[in-house]
Structure 1
Amino acid sequence: MPSPNDTSGRRKQAALNDEAILEAAREVFLNDPRSPISDVAKHAGVGISALYRRYPGKEDLLRKLCHDGLRRYNAEAEAALAEPDGWTAFTGFLGRVVDADVHSLTVHLAGTFTPTPEMGADAARSGELADALVARAHATGRLRADVVTQDIGLVLESCAAVRVPDRARTAELRRRVLAMLVDSLARTGGSDLPGPPPAPGEFAWRWRRA
């Protein structure tokens, strides 16, 4: 245990506690978004007071989890846009976002808290980045012409829906599903996709508070 005057030790312990809290919150809220915040503290092995010092309420914790996921998505998209080949950038981006498991949590928690203006700005940025990635993939001639940016959200949510008790096996199965979906995205010829494509903002309803 750090001594009372060991500020670096206390900061390190606080960082470890925060990491444990966020990891526990992911597990708890993936199983049941309605779980009380006390379940997170119990799962993390920290006192409820230690949790409340970092996150005054459940909404603060939910916002942190979802905003972290949004930032990860944007960081992966920005890194992909720096790659020279548009198709490799596009498919690599999908793989990294699936591996990061960003969508499992955001889809579960959408509408359970009030987003901040900063989250709104980052969400708008994510749309711009996705548009750019899809445009570059189209420019290569390898992405089927009837795919729109909003279809990418459907791909990612489809992969996120795959979940078994074993984490490693979940990752394997999600990669398998993604490989099948990427093949369909790259398909040439054949029939057109049925129905009109998702419209911009069509899934925004889920973020409205009940």
Structure 2
Amino acid sequence: MSETQTRRLPGRKAQAARNDGLILDAARTVFLADPGAPIAAVAERAGVGISALYRRYPSKEVLLRTLCHEGLRRFNTEADAALEDSDGWRGFVGFLQRVVAADVHSLTVKLAGTFTPSDEMWPDVRHSGEAVSELVGRAHSAGKLRPDFTAQDVGLVLESCAAIATPDPVRTAELRARMLAVLVDGMSVEGDLPGPPPAEGEFAFRWQR
């Protein structure tokens, strides 16, 4: 929920919404550093009481699931925005740049397999797959994307960028943007890629506990 939307809520609801934002921001920081951290560490970082956290998230698993679902929704928002671009290549590259800048895939890498996905997540999972396939297809149609690059390769690109981390967040963002630029250049040149592309669902095992 945005700050503007929060300000429109009545007092208690506005405070609850602010606390929720603080908790999710804190959880992202805590669990990216240590997926095994206790939920109390999230409450401490967020500056809220543990009882307030448990009223919103009754277990660590619920918090982790919510955190990853928020990342998935952000991914889909960026994919949908890219589909509005009439230039298939520009839309595809812009999508990759925004998702890397938002650091969506660090959560995927760190938290996969630490919770059981809920049925509520699957429509968004399906939507993400459909949107990425459409973006890749448009980039191919634009004549800019190498023909042997598949929708499943997108995950490899994003996770490769997410794997780059330094103690300095600004420098991390710079290096990830640099690596993405190198990868994008490789996507748009002729030549054969070694080995077959990832199969659809090949990495689904990570979400099984």
**Residue 120 of structure 1 aligns with which residue?**
122
Deviates more, 1:137-146 or 1:10-19: 10-19
Tell me the distance in 2 between the aligned counterparts of 1:163 and 1:50.
Answer: 32
**Residue 4 of structure 1 aligns with which residue?**
none
**Residue 29 of structure 2 aligns with which residue?**
27
**Residue 86 of structure 2 aligns with which residue?**
84
Kindly name which structure, 1 or 2, has the bigger radius of gyration based on alpha carbons.
Answer: 1
**Residue 45 of structure 1 aligns with which residue?**
47
Matched, 1:93 2:92: no
Matched, 1:178 2:167: no
Q: State the aligned residue count.
A: 201
Per-residue CA distance 1:128-164 (angstroms, 9 max, x = gap): 1100000000001110111011111000001111111
Per-residue CA distance 1:52-79 (angstroms, 9 max, x = gap): 0110110110011000011111111111
Identity %: 66
Tell me the distance in 1 between the aligned counterparts of 2:40 and 2:13.
Answer: 23
One-letter identity of the residue aligned with 2:192: D
Per-residue CA distance 1:94-126 (angstroms, 9 max, x = gap): 001111111001221111111111211211111
One-letter identity of the residue aligned with 2:54: Y
Map residues 1-210 of structure 1 onto 2, 5 A cutoff: 8-188=10-190, 191-209=191-209
Tell me the distance in 1 between the aligned counterparts of 2:51 and 2:147.
Answer: 54
Tell me the distance in 2 between the aligned counterparts of 1:165 and 1:11.
Answer: 36
Cα drift, residue 32 of structure 1: 1.1
SS of the residue 2:165 aligns to: coil
One-letter identity of the residue aligned with 1:77: A
One-letter identity of the residue aligned with 1:110: A
Cα drift, residue 12 of structure 1: 2.1
Tell me the distance in 2 between the aligned counterparts of 1:11 and 1:50.
Answer: 13
SS of the residue 2:85 aligns to: coil
Per-residue CA distance 1:8-66 (angstroms, 9 max, x = gap): 22222222211111111001101111111011111111110010011011011001100
SS of the residue 1:154 aligns to: helix
Tell me the distance in 1 between the aligned counterparts of 2:58 and 2:119.
Answer: 19
Let me know the Cα RMSD of the aligned residues: 1.1
SS of the residue 1:111 aligns to: coil
Tell me the distance in 2 between the aligned counterparts of 1:123 and 1:14.
Answer: 28
Tell me the distance in 2 between the aligned counterparts of 1:206 and 1:34.
Answer: 16
Q: Which runs of 5+ in 1 are unaligned?
A: 1-6
One-letter identity of the residue aligned with 2:141: A
